[in-house]
Structure formats: structure tokens, C-alpha cells
Amino acid sequence: MHTRPPSSAFSAVLFGLSGCLVDFGARTQSVALQRLYPQRPIPTNNSLLAPSASLAEVLGRAPDSAEWQAFEQALCEAAGEHAEATPGALAQLLALHAQGVPCAWLDELPRDASMRLATPLPDWLAGAPCRPRRPWPAPDSCWQALTDLEVNQLDGCVLISGEPRLLQTGLNAGLWTIGLAACGPLCGLAPADWQALDAAARERLRSQATLALYRLAVHSVIDQLSELPACLEDLAQRRLKGEKP
């Protein structure tokens, strides 16, 4: 079992939901759009947009209320199909919970879709679905999640995600940030498609995603949550040396 010096204990860990804890490749949004508009091209970077912006991009205009309701329904259906924990997610959540580290997930999909995606996760894990406040990358959602967890200080708080705008949110909030290269939207592949790639193709996509995440100035990058323990230990040592996020 991984151990850490007591002085390096983290105050809280926030996770992205899609493409981090669940839904390897963050496919829910793009799959919903493909099913709603099979004749329209879905840009490869569409999954990096907020839901309202992604729908508007496909339509070429702001959606009307009926189109938005249809999109919400399609998101719920796709979320039910992609509600599967990513490699290492459940084990890392249980380890943090056993250490008494408060944890929560963040998401910006409509609430019903987020809650359906979160069904494989433990009941004790707090969730912060999309709420009416300034959108990412404003820091509000991180600060509100920490407030809901009754965390009294930003020092030692960490955000983990593969979503660039959420990582920027964490940076704006003053948190340590860990980017996920392989399982997030920057690679955007379902698990079977990821495994079907040859080693060279996987490495090319991984390298491109890693570089994009480091360009955001995140503090560390890993492929997926199974690699989290060593990463947290590294951040703990950096904190002990006096480094600040």
C-alpha cells in the first residue's frame, strides 16, 4: 500500500467526471450529437466545448428550446451507455477515502446526464453537476465544490481531469492540477478503439495530448487514474520542498 508523510496529506481532491472517473475518452457528448444529427459532420474538437456551445457549433446557430431538450435526452441515453468507471478510478477513490481525503467530482453536462454517468461511483462521493454560475474556466465551480466539502483552505487541494477547460478552472482557482492524457477528450477514443491502435499510434496521440496539457501549465500529467498514486506522491514531495501551485 502506498504511504505518504503525514505533513504531505492533501486537503481535498476534485475529479472531472467524464473522461476522468467514468466514460473513457469522454465520448458521451459527441455520441449524443452523432445520433441526433447523423448527416452533419461533428468536428473532432467538439467534445472540448461546453454542451450548449457544442450543439450550437453543429447547428451553426443557437439551439431553440426543442432542440436543447432533444439534446438533453440524447445526452442522458448516451450517458447510460458510457457510465463505466475508467481504469483505476474506483481503487483510487477508495484509497483516498480510507485516508480521510475529501473528494468530489465536477461536470458541466446537464444534471440528469451527469448523475447517470456517475452511477458506477461510490454513494459517499460528492458530486457537483452543472449549476447556474459562471462557466468554466471561471474558478467558481471548484471553490463551490470545496465549500460543499467543508474544506477550509486551498492549500493542498488538487484537481484531476483530462478536460482542458476544467484544468484551467483549477489553475484559476489556485489548485494543484493533474492532467489525464489518454482517457480524456484530447484523445477522445473509446477503450476498445484505444486498445486497437498500434503502439506507435497510441504513443503519438498520448504525446500530443500530454504536450497540450503541459501547455496549459498543469503541474503533472499521467495517462489515467491507475497512475495516480505515484503522481500524488511526487506532488507531495514538491509541496514539502515549498513549491506552490
Distant-in-sequence, close-in-space partners of 205: CB < 8 Å, separation ≥ 6 = 182, 187, 189, 197
Print the SS3 string covering the chain: CCCCCHHHCCCEEEEECECCCECCCCCHHHHHHHHHCCCCCCCCCHHHCCHHHHHHHHHCCCCCHHHHHHHHHHHHHHHHHHCCECCCHHHHHHHHHHCCCCEEEECCCCHHHHHHHCCCCCCCCEEECCCCCCCCCCCHHHHHHHHHCCCCCCCCEEEEECCHHHHHHHHHHCCEEEEECCCCCCCCCCHHHHHHCCHHHHHHHHHHHHHHHHHCCCCEEECCHHHHHHHHHHHHHHHHCCCCC
> What is the domain range of residue 219?
9-26+84-240
CATH number of 172's domain: 3.40.50.1000
Query: Which cell is 6 given?
Result: 503525514
* 185 occurs within a structural domain: yes
> Distance of alpha carbon 244 from its chain centroid, rounded?
22
Cis before residue 137, ω within 30 degrees of 0? yes
- Residues of the chain where predicted confidence (pLDDT) is lower than 50: 1-8
Q: Which residue has the cell 447556474?
A: 132
Residue 177 and residue 72 share a domain: no
Residue 191 and residue 153 share a domain: yes
* 104 occurs within a structural domain: yes
Domain termination residue (choose one: 82, 112, 127): 82
Q: What is the pTM of this model?
A: 0.94
Give the residues across from 49 on adjacent strands: none
Length of the chain: 245
Residue 19 and residue 93 share a domain: yes
* 141 occurs within a structural domain: yes
Q: What confidence score (pLDDT) does residue 6 get?
A: 33
> Distance of alpha carbon 204 from its chain centroid, rounded?
21
Residue 158 and residue 76 share a domain: no
Q: What confidence score (pLDDT) does residue 132 get?
A: 57
Structural domains of the chain, count: 2
Residue 225 and residue 181 share a domain: yes
Q: What confidence score (pLDDT) does residue 2 get?
A: 44
Q: What confidence score (pLDDT) does residue 5 get?
A: 40
* 1 occurs within a structural domain: no
Q: What confidence score (pLDDT) does residue 8 get?
A: 44
Cβ count near 147 (within 10 Å): 10
Residue 127 and residue 98 share a domain: yes
Q: What confidence score (pLDDT) does residue 7 get?
A: 32
